[in-house]
Structure 1
């Protein structure tokens, strides 16, 4: 979900906003902004579900929320979490 949120943020910032200001097409921001908003809400719900289900430390949830506002932040955080998850499950299997 983080990747989808990151992509929608980049589309909003790099495509929709320039179209609004340079091409006079504010409807693009309305459409892409609404889509990004829906994806963001879904992302926040997914963070809450993961927090409750696997008992993430609260710091991970806070970081996930903060990086959602930073372009490319979700991509970096997603890579880190994926690596941490692989190590966690590998340790569980080997235990």
Structure 2
């Protein structure tokens, strides 16, 4: 498998509350709390509401890709969130602050 990949996921309802991210160098996964946004290791995460249910968005981006994308990484996550919201009829996106 090529090291050049970006993985996006959208979790809705009960699945949104169960998302946790493994951060290199920590003993246990860090929970991603619906209604919040941020960064954990290689993962950007955000949230929104889909048909009245919480949704969590994640985008996993390995370090090599982050170094190439630079500030465009935030634009990529914003575009992914907008696409997911449109396809699923979601509202109220909460996205991580730009870096």
TM-score (norm 1): 0.31
* Structure label with greater radius of gyration: 1
- The structure where strand makes up a greater share of residues is 2
User: With CA pairs under 8 Å and 6+ residues apart, which has the higher RCO, 1 or 2?
Assistant: 1
TM-score (norm 2): 0.30
